[in-house]
Amino acid sequence: MTAQMLDGRALAGRIEASLRGEVDTFAGMFRRKPRLVVVLVGDVAASASYVKSKAAAAARLGMDSAVIPVAATATTADLVALVGSIARDEHGHADGILVQLPLPPHVDQVAVLDAVPPDRDVDGFHPENAGLLSQGRPRFIPCTAAGVQRMLIDAAIPTAGRHVVIVGRSDIVGKPLALLLAQRPPPGCPADGAGGCDATVTICHSRSGDLGRFTREADILVAAVGKPGLITAPMVRPGAAVIDVGINRVDGRLVGDVDAGPVAEVAGWLSPVPGGVGPMTVAMLMANTLLAAELRLGRG
């Protein structure tokens, strides 16, 4: 078997094309553009590159964005104060506020993320947004999780009654994706089972022991750990959909968590790295930013 590639770049392009029209409508109606403000702490090359992609996507869609660079020596109090000042619109109005992760180890990440007002939390990391998702009434869904769900829906990979195994229990990907795919069909979810919901979900993590015991049971396997080559071909059930969320730099090359060459011979579908989940994360951030602007101006 040779897996069908899940082209996240192409799908993100189609999503952007439809968002562009909505952004135009918004701008025509409110005489201003939706605006995203990103806080970038320190000089981690990968973070700088992700932030650049986010600003470039905003520009392509006709949205405003600003990146506020902060020294790596900033304290938790400095960053909480900065986020507060952005929320008070001291840096220009901000519909969406995003603090790029990771933060330096001396910073209390939870305190900084909690300072982002939940109605501008386009990352969906605030406890209020996490709570809404867990109750099946999502507002801002974490972008990578939303992107994976959208890829499954777009490729008509059924999820209802299927076994999804997620390797990785992060607040950014693993946990929200598990909630999303296990949820009851929300309004608008197609009833044919291809709607990215109604799945049976297993979350694996560093204490799960023999990972293959679980992953071989997966109809849909999601790897979201950040360990190159973690998922090998013998760990994959023939015909399964394999979604690679990992982004790792090895010898100057970007690779995922999946041993892509051999796994492509076993899987039914595979998302590549680069060009799979990464562009979808950015597209979903743009959708969340537009939603934040609409909610703010009463159109959500």
**Which residues are near ligand GUN by CB under 6 A?**
98-101, 123, 143-144, 172, 281
Residue in the shown chain whose Cβ atom is closest to ligand GUN: 101
In the complex with ligand GUN, which residue's Cβ is closer, 129 or 144?
144
User: How many Å apart are CA 63 and CA 8, to the nearest integer?
Assistant: 21
Instruction: Name the residue among 283, 299, 274 with its Cα closest to residue 60.
Output: 283
Catalytic machinery residues: 54, 100, 123
